[in-house]
């Protein structure tokens, strides 16, 4: 049923005549008459008694008029609410925002960013999902994916946000059992724990100093595909690890990790915000990405989750010696 038919009938009941209804609405009398007749046809009842001078509602007409008045009020209220919500969404002040991220950016950086964003946009519901989990959403279904390796898909845009510096780290427990390297060549006497994807397909890790470079081909004691596991291996004294500086800053401050070969760093890692072209038009997403880009240099200060060194094995022995 066309809502215009209900509006025509309610207008007729308010005005009391076709002539006045036409004058109040600007709709021709013939059009209003056809609309009321069509409504009666659809309902299967007579709503008005027509005479030469006026139209009088039947009992069914009076009942339908009461329902019609309530229906139009509800419609107006609903439309006003919808307009307000759409305006809020367009301004970035309402709706939902789903962000996908690699695991090492989650608690270390994005939890703080989501909290800051919610403080500024309390009516936006935020979802923070971790990539590479069985229930992880697909990249093309989220608003934004924060990562270090953007997917090569034609409908996605990868906006560079900054670079993460990497250094070599080891725990005091490991260094107590192995002479700390004084130069890159000394790394041959040590074992490493590595992130599988950083080493895959490469001859070794490229270390860059102020005036020189060195390729380290590590003897691997353990490897993983997760940064948190890698840092835990390092804290437990399994070997030297190349890790993001921001990621290890709390453990360095707490004494759980030490920088190995200060002044030497592996290749920095880019950070990207990946999103669909059309989704960036939403103000709430544009505001979130701009906030991330503006805070990427503060990433070390925002990361406050400190890992604790593991206990020594029973018997209190030192960490394992380098593998032959």
The token duo for 268 is 């920095």
The predicted pLDDT at position 91 comes to: 53
The token duo for 20 is 């006045």
Which domains, from first to last, does the chain contain? 3-90 (1.10.10.10), 92-164+270-302 (3.40.190.10), 166-268 (3.40.190.290)
Tens of pLDDT, residue by residue over 28-59, are 989 988 988 898 888 898 988 877 667 788 88
Tens of pLDDT, residue by residue over 145-198, are 988 888 888 788 888 988 888 999 999 999 999 999 999 999 999 999 998 877
* Opening angle at CA 62, ends 57 and 68, nearest 5: 115
Looking at the chain, the number of H-run helices and the number of E-run strands are: 12, 15
Instruction: Please tell me the distance from the alpha carbon of residue 55 to that of residue 33, in angstroms, as a whole number.
Output: 11
Tens of pLDDT, residue by residue over 60-104, are 888 988 888 888 888 877 776 666 556 555 555 668 889 998 877
pTM of the full structure:
0.60
Burial of 185 by CB count in 10 Å (0-12 exposed, 13-18 middle, 19+ buried)? exposed
């Amino acid at each position: 049923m066309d809502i215009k038919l209900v509006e025509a009938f309610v207008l007729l009941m308010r005005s009391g005549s076709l002539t006045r209804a036409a004058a109040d609405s600007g709709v021709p009398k013939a059009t209003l008459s056809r609309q009321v007749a069509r409504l009666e046809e659809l309902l299967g009842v007579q709503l008005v008694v027509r005479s030469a001078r006026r139209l009088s509602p039947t009992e069914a007409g009076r009942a339908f008029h009461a329902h019609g008045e309530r229906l139009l009020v509800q419609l107006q209220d609903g439309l006003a609410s919808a307009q307000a919500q759409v305006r809020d969404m367009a301004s970035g002040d309402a709706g939902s925002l789903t962000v996908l991220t690699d695991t090492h950016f989650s608690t270390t950086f994005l939890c703080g960013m989501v909290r800051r964003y919610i403080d500024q946009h309390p009516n936006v519901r935020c979802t923070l999902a971790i990539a590479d989990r069985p229930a992880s959403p697909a990249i093309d279904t989220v608003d934004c994916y924060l990562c270090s390796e953007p997917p090569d898909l034609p409908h996605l845009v990868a906006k560079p946000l900054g670079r993460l510096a990497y250094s070599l780290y080891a725990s005091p427990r490991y260094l107590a059992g192995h002479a700390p390297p004084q130069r890159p060549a000394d790394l041959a006497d040590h074992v490493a724990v590595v992130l599988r994807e950083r080493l895959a397909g490469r001859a070794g890790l490229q270390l860059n100093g102020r005036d020189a470079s060195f390729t380290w081909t590590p003897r691997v004691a353990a490897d993983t595909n997760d940064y948190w596991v890698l840092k835990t291996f390092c804290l437990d004294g399994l070997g030297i690890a190349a890790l993001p500086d921001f990621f290890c800053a709390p453990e360095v401050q707490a004494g759980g990790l030490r920088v190995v070969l200060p002044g030497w760093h592996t290749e920095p890692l880019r950070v990207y915000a990946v999103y669909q072209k059309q989704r960036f038009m939403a103000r709430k997403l544009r505001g979130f990405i701009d906030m991330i880009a503006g805070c990427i240099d503060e990433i070390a200060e925002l990361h406050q989750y400190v890992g604790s060194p593991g206990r020594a094995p029973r018997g209190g022995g030192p960490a394992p010696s380098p593998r032959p």
